[in-house]
């Protein structure tokens, strides 16, 4: 059933309010945002997205989100003024606000509904709760915007067309993780120092290194590196970036893209650049996707995460801290995955500092970050499937 007006309880979790409002069957003409002072910024973000879809927005100020009787009176007085069909989306707000609003709507004999964001279902409360499926899908752009972020420069994240040859190349690198790890790390460093030059000399040890030359041969066969008498030349700046770690991002993206047709999987992107709505912070995420209306973020690391970083911590700790910060972008349910090609975050690594690995594992677990380290990357698509399930 379509109600003229949805009354939404604004909180840090905007998705339930958005899902019901954009669905073709349940789309309202007007949305009234019941907003406490603390939630004003969240209401602004939600209003911007809904207005862009042609929905009229009004505000219903809530003086104290923890004053039960004050909240009840606010909603009951509002309902007394309405001459159109009004329904309460009870999914958001504080528990006390939700309880008071629901009681006011019931006393006024007005409908109340709840949105289950994980199943795309809407439940209308009544003598027997009625259930309906929601067909509206939230994309990354709208999801991020209702949580206070936009794509940098207004650009959608890339969805590169990965060729069969590139896919085969990354699979060979992944399959050889135990052999190629250290040498690939050295080649990453060579690529990093070659920025702007594209040509790098190799010393005698590097020219004689069997494993380094195996790795160089892989990228040479892929057309990204050309051999020269005293060193190597990257085919282009794009190839230099690909050799320096872009290959791992593409491997991860391919795994995400292969899962994109599954139920509840709505949108995804690679190298997602975002800016906070207030313009204060900018971030870049290697991979992002929405599954069951929950934001999943992936960071890819081909470097040795056991080495010292810039902050005094090791690079593994720094990577976990960075991802932990990024998880704040999508609300409390946002989940993160850290992919460690070299395997330095795994106790199975031959020279692992077990105390350091245990500390990083505990830190990641507490932050809701799943680590895929070393040989586990060989079954990455399965790892992601189990993670989101």
- Quickly state the pLDDT bin for 127 (edges 50, 70, 90): low
On the question of pLDDT at 348 being above 70, the answer is no
Are 276 and 313 part of one and the same domain?
Answer: yes
Q: Could you give the angle at the alpha carbon of 197 between the alpha carbons of 193 and 202, nearest 5°?
A: 60
What does DSSP assign to residue 157? P
Same domain, 23 and 132: yes
Per-residue DSSP letter, 276: E
**pLDDT over 80 at 332, yes or no:** no
Q: What are phi and psi of 9, to 5 degrees?
A: -90, 110
204 and 111 housed in the same domain:
no
Identify the domain boundary among 242, 260, 279.
Answer: 242
**DSSP string of 8-32, one letter each residue:** EE--S--HHHHHHHH-TTT--SEEE
- Cβ-in-10-Å burial (0-12, 13-18, 19+) of 95 comes to exposed
| 329 and 211 within one domain | no
Asked whether residue 157 is domain-assigned, the answer is no
| Higher-confidence position of 347 and 281 | 281
**What average pLDDT does range 295-318 have in this prediction?**
85
369 in a structural domain? yes
What would the two tokens of residue 343 be? Answer: 């395997």
122, 197: one domain: no
List beta partners, residue 122.
Answer: 115, 132
**Does the pLDDT at position 201 exceed 80?**
yes
* Number of domains, the chain: 3
147 occurs within a structural domain: no
pLDDT exceeds cutoff 80 at 372: yes
Whether residue 312 is found in the same domain as residue 369: yes
| Mean predicted confidence (pLDDT) in 349-362 | 78
Is the domain of 18 the same as that of 115?
yes
Q: Are 184 and 215 in contact (CB under 8 A)?
A: yes
Query: Residue 313's pLDDT band (boundaries 50, 70, 90)?
Result: confident
Average pLDDT of the chain to the nearest whole number: 90
- Within a domain: 146: no
Distance CA 342, CA 305 (A): 8
Say what the pLDDT of residue 97 is: 94
Q: What is the mean pLDDT of residues 169-179?
A: 91
Residue listed under structure tokens 């494993």: 211
Same domain, 45 and 60: yes
Average pLDDT of span 86-102: 94
The single residue listed with the structure tokens 């504080």 is 94
% of the chain surpassing 70 pLDDT: 96
Q: Domain with 356 in it: what CATH number? A: 3.40.1350.10
In a domain, 148, yes or no: no
384 and 249 in a common domain = yes
With a CB cutoff of 8 Å and minimum separation 6, the contacts of 373 are 339, 340, 343, 344, 345, 346, 349
Write down which residue in 216, 242, 268 finishes a domain. 242
pLDDT at 1 over 80: no
Residue range 367-373: average pLDDT?
93
> Residue 321 above 80 pLDDT?
yes
In a domain, 293, yes or no: yes
Mean pLDDT, residues 242-246: 91
23 and 93 in a single domain? The answer is yes
Full-model pTM: 0.89
Q: Phi first, then psi: give them for residue 55, nearest 5 degrees.
A: -95, 130
CA nearest neighbour of 75 among 116, 38, 32: 32
Mean predicted confidence (pLDDT) in 189-193: 88
Residue 224's CATH number: 1.10.10.680
Residue of 229 and 33 predicted with greater confidence: 33
Whether 248 and 362 map to the same domain: the answer is: yes
Q: Are 225 and 333 found together in one domain?
A: no
Q: Label residue 346 left, alpha or beta by phi (over 0 means left) and psi (-120 to 50 means alpha).
A: beta
Q: Taking residues 8-24, what's their average pLDDT?
A: 93
Among candidate residues 121, 136, 151, the one where a domain is terminated: 136
Q: What is the pLDDT of residue 280?
A: 76
Vertex 82: Cα angle to 77 and 83 (nearest 5): 155
Give CA–CA dist 188/204, Å, rounded. 18
In a domain, 212, yes or no: yes
- Whether residue 350 is predicted with pLDDT greater than 60 in this model: the reply is no
Q: What sign has the CA pseudo-torsion 31, 35, 39, 44?
A: positive
Q: DSSP letters of 82-94?
A: --S-EEEETTSS-
Residue 132's domain comprises: 5-136
For the chain, percent of residues with pLDDT exceeding 90 = 61
Range name among 3-17, 33-47, 158-172 with the lowest pLDDT average: 158-172
Cβ atoms of 264 and 137 within 8 Å: the answer is: no
CB atoms within 10 A of CB 336: 25
- Would the pLDDT of 27 be above 90? yes
Is 160 contained in some domain? no
Neighbours of 365 (CB within 10 A): 11
> Which residue is associated with the tokens 């809904």?
50
Q: Is the dihedral of CA 46, 276, 324, 140 positive or negative?
A: positive
SS3 65: coil
């Amino acid at each position: 059933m379509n109600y003229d007006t949805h009354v939404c309880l604004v909180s840090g979790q905007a998705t339930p309010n958005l899902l019901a409002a954009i669905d073709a069957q349940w789309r309202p003409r007007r949305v009234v945002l019941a907003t406490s002072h603390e939630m004003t910024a969240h209401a602004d973000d939600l209003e911007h997205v809904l207005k862009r879809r042609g929905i009229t927005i009004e505000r219903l100020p809530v003086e104290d989100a923890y004053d039960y009787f004050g909240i009840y009176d606010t909603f009951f007085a509002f309902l007394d003024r309405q001459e159109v069909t009004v329904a309460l989306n009870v999914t958001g707000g504080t528990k006390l606000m939700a309880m008071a609003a629901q009681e006011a709507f019931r006393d006024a004999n007005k409908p109340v509904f709840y949105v289950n964001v994980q199943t795309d279902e809407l439940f209308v409360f009544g003598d027997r709760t009625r259930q309906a499926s929601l067909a509206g899908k939230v994309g990354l752009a709208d999801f991020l915007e209702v949580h206070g972020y936009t794509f940098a420069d207004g650009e959608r994240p890339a969805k590169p067309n990965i060729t069969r040859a590139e896919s085969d190349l990354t699979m060979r690198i992944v399959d050889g993780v135990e052999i190629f790890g250290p040498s690939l790390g050295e080649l990453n460093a060579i690529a990093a120092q070659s920025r702007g030059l594209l040509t790098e000399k190799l010393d005698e040890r590097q020219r004689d290194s069997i494993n380094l030359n195996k790795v160089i041969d892989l990228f040479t066969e892929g057309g990204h590196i050309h051999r020269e008498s005293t060193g190597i030349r990257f085919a282009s700046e794009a190839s230099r970036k690909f050799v320096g770690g872009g290959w791992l991002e593409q491997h991860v993206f391919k795994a995400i893209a292969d899962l994109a047709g599954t139920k509840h999987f709505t949108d995804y992107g690679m190298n997602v650049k975002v800016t906070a709505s207030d313009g204060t912070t900018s971030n870049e995420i290697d991979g992002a996707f929405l599954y069951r209306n929950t934001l999943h973020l992936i960071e890819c690391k081909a470097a040795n995460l056991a080495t010292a970083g810039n902050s005094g911590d090791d690079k593994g700790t720094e990577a976990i801290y960075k991802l932990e910060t990024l998880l704040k972008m999508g609300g409390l349910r946002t989940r993160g995955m850290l992919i460690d090609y070299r395997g330095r975050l795994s106790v199975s690594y031959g020279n692992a500092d077990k105390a350091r690995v245990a500390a990083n594992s505990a830190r990641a677990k507490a932050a809701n970050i799943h680590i895929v380290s070393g040989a586990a990357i060989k079954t990455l698509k399965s790892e992601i499937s189990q993670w989101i399930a």
